[in-house]
Amino acid sequence: MAVPERPTTNLEETAVEEILTRIEPADEAAMTAATQRHQQLTKPAGSLGVLEDLSIRVAGMTGAVVPAPAVVTVFAADHGVHAQGVSPWPQEVTAAMLANFAAGGAAVNAFAKNNQVDVRVVDVGVASDVDGLDIVHAKVRPGTRDLSVGPALTADEVLAAIEVGYELADKLVRDGYRCLLTGDMGIANTTASAALIATFTGASAADVTGRGTGIDDATLAHKTAVVTAALALHGVPATEPLDALAAYGGLEHAALTGYILGAAANKIPVILDGVIAGAAALVAQALHASTTDYCVAGHRSAEPGHAVALKALGLQPLVDLDLRLGEGTGAVLAYPILTCAVRALSEMATFESAGIAAGESE
């Protein structure tokens, strides 16, 4: 089969360039100050483990400020590769789940209510008509093309979806949110994620392709073969992140990329959910290395590609519960852990203020 012509885009001629100029590395001086403060708090040094590291990272993003309020944004889109039989679920489930999100009946709604996180739902590329739902309507196109036979998106569609995510992140920050959480919905989106993760990590399709919605062994083998063939067909190098999105990405991947870039540009934490967000974060990292300074891994998905993505991103997940639902559930579960970490840094007494001689807390 001939290699399809890849849509290409000149980064210098797009709005993405302006986004990238806003992103700066985390504040090293703030992280040093946070590290020094941890040594003065009423606890043995290092006794809060990962929470100490997390609070120091957040200090580098925003200062020792509790990142609240928070919002999880569920970007929804459909995938043309569904036609290859990579999922037993009908594509119409995506639209049905949007109605469920809007009605407050999904797992992410329950978790978000418990953890005081607001929910936004965005149609960035659902194949069905969902105009009647009370959600954010930002459809770039009704689903992607089949990545196994040609590019999933054009260059213009990639940029349009990135701008949806970025502009929404900017708006949410203007509205007062100080922590953004990622969510996603789209039948067959783990197939596109596997192709993206393989592209940016060099891993094989077999190492990053998982069972998604719970497929059997035969379907997993077929799905892996589809990803393998797509990687050979397009041959996009990791140095061309926008072309990789065009070749393989879902519209939710592109929108999540923009959303992650938007959090970094606004110097606030973005809690990543599972494998879909991990794939998008790899794209964002390839566009600007400092983006990951603002990323927090909410959890480790049961999807094998997610562990590969997290290793490449250099992120340690806060929880590991064999989740593979998506929606933003893992990110919402992790949010209270992040706020506890920051409260420990900012609100605990020091040995001096508590009148305790160092070492007595042990």
Is 362 a catalytic site residue? no
Is the distance from CB of 7 to CB of 243 less than 8 angstroms? yes
**Token pair of 314 as six digits:** 């250099």
Instruction: Please give the Cα distance from 220 to 4 (Å, whole number).
Output: 25
Q: From residue 124, give the alpha-carbon distance in Å to each of 121, 181, 361.
A: 9, 17, 52
Alpha helices in 116-268 (DSSP H): 155-174, 189-201, 205-208, 217-234, 241-248, 251-265
Is the distance from CB of 142 to CB of 125 less than 8 angstroms? yes
Residue 290 one-letter amino acid: S
Could you tell me the end-to-end alpha-carbon distance of the chain, in angstroms, rounded to an integer? 67
Q: Each residue of 113-146: b (16+ CB within 10 Å) or e?
A: eebebebbbbbbbbbbebeebebbebbbbebbbb
Instruction: Check residue 289 and report its DSSP letter.
Output: G
Instruction: Check residue 288 and report its DSSP letter.
Output: -
Catalytic-role residue among 24, 252, 327, 347: 327
Could you give the residue numbers annotated as active site?
327
